[in-house]
Amino acid sequence: MELDHIIRKFIDTQNYSVSPITNGLINSTYLVKNNDNNSKYILQNINTKVFKHPQIIVDNHLKINRMLTAKHYDFKIIKPIASISNEFLVKDPHQQIWRMLDFVENSITFLKVPSAKIAYEAAKTFSIFLNTINMEPLPEIGDSLPGFINFEKRISDYKKALKVASADLKENAANEIQYINDFLSLPEKWIKLQHNNLLPKRIIHADPKISNILFHEEHYPLAVIDLDTVMISTILYDFGDMIRSYTNTANEDEAVTANNFNSEIFKAVKEGFLFHLQEKLTPEEYENLDYAAQVVIYIQALRFLTDYLNGNIYYSITYPEHNLDRTKNQLQLLKGLRKYLNEI
Ligand code: GN1
Ligand code: MG
C-alpha cells in the first residue's frame, strides 16, 4: 500500500488501519489507528503547491501552541507528532510532504452549523483562541501564504482567469461572472483601510470555518484545529469568515437556488465573537464588522469562480462544476446577508 511507507515512518508497527477524512479542500487527511495499543493519529499530506514552505506551518504551529500553553486556555491543544527519526515533516519517495498530529477522542466536526447555539459556541471558542494568542508585543509569525488577504491580487487573479477561460466555461458561469463584476468595488474600502494602516495587525486564524472546530459528540467545543493559515493580518477577516461559514444553512459544496442565509445565526456569531474581543477592537474594526462579512463572502465566491475559470487547479473537486456550485452557494449567501443588512 502507498501510505504504508509514510505511516511506518511515524509509528513502529504493521498492525494499523487507515481511512481518509475528506473535509479539507487543500491538504489530504487520513485517520490512522495503531491496533497494537488503540492510539489514533491524524496523518496529512501537505499540499505544497499551496503551502510552498511547510516548515513555516510547523514553526507557527509550535509557536501558537507555546502561547496557548503559557496562558490559561481551556481547550485541547493539538500537538504535531514527530516521526521515529524525530522530524515533524517527512518526505515520501514522490517528494510529497507529510505530517502527523494528535487525534482527539470522541470528537466530531460539522460541515454546516446545526443550530444558533453551536454557532455561538464556535464563535466564542475562536474569540477565546484569538484573545489568548494576541499578546503584546506580537511574536514573529511566518507568512505561510503570502498575499492570502491581498484582495487587489485576488481581483487581478480573477481578471486574468477571465481572460484565458474558454468560451464554454464563461457561458456556464455567465450569471456568476455578472454578479462578481457588478460588485468589484465592494472590497475597495477594505483595501484602502489596509493601505492606510487603519486596521491593527493581529494574529488571526484565517480559516475559522465550522469544520475547523472539534466538538465533543455531545456538542460542546473541544479544540480549534488547522493552524496552517495562522498569520498576521486584520481580525476582520476571521469575523467575516465565521459569518461566511456559520450563517450558511447549506453545505458550502451545495449549489443552492433559494436563500441559504440565517439571520438568527448572524446575531449569535457576532455575540460569540465579541465575547472576549469587544473591548479589544478599535472603532474601525468594530464599525466594519458587517461590511467585512460581505467582503469575505464575496472574495470566497470570487476565489471559487477564479478556480473554475482556471480549470480547477487550486481547490480539490469531485466533479467538473464543483467550483461553480461553490460559487453559486457563496453568492446566494451574500445576497441573503445583504438583504438582511439592508432591512435592519
Ligand atoms: C480552504 O482546505 P481548507 O478547508 O482548510 C482554503 C480557505 C477557504 C476554504 C473554504 C489555504 O481551506 O481559504 O476559505 O477552503 N484554504 C486555503 O472552504 O486556501
Ligand atoms: Mg485550512
Host domain of residue 194: 116-343
pLDDT at 103: 97
**How far, in Å, from the CA of 206 to the mean position of ligand 2?**
8
* pLDDT tens by residue, 240-251: 999 999 999 999
Determine the atom of ligand 1 nearest the C-alpha atom of 51: 11
Q: Judge if 58 and 121 occupy the same domain.
A: no
Q: What is the mean pLDDT of residues 133-148?
A: 93
* Measured CA distances, 312 to 173, 303, 316, 321 (Å): 14, 11, 7, 9
- Phi/psi zone of residue 80: left (φ > 0), alpha (ψ -120 to 50 degrees), beta? beta
CATH number of the domain residue 292 falls in: 3.90.1200.10
Q: What is the mean pLDDT of residues 150-173?
A: 98
Count of structural domains within the chain:
2
* Measured CA distances, 132 to 191, 201, 207, 211, 279 (Å): 27, 15, 17, 21, 14
* pLDDT tens by residue, 85-103: 999 999 999 999 999 999 9
**How far, in Å, from the CA of 161 to the mean position of ligand 1?**
19
Q: What is the number of other CB atoms lying within 10 angstroms of the CB of residue 328? A: 23
C-alpha cell at 128: 477565546
In a domain, 43, yes or no: yes
- Percent of the chain's residues with pLDDT above 70: 100
Residues 6+ apart with CB under 8 A from 240: 292, 293, 294, 295, 296, 297
Q: Judge if 54 and 168 occupy the same domain.
A: no
Specify the pTM. 0.97
* pLDDT tens by residue, 295-334: 999 999 999 999 999 999 999 999 999 999 999 999 999 9
Indicate if ligand 1 lies below 6 Å from the C-beta of 307: no
Position 212 pLDDT exceeds 60: yes
Q: Judge if 10 and 147 occupy the same domain.
A: no
CATH number of the domain residue 22 falls in: 3.30.200.20
pLDDT at 171: 98
**Predicted-complex ipTM score:** 0.97
Q: Judge if 234 and 167 occupy the same domain.
A: yes
- How high is the mean pLDDT of the chain? 97
Q: Judge if 40 and 123 occupy the same domain.
A: no
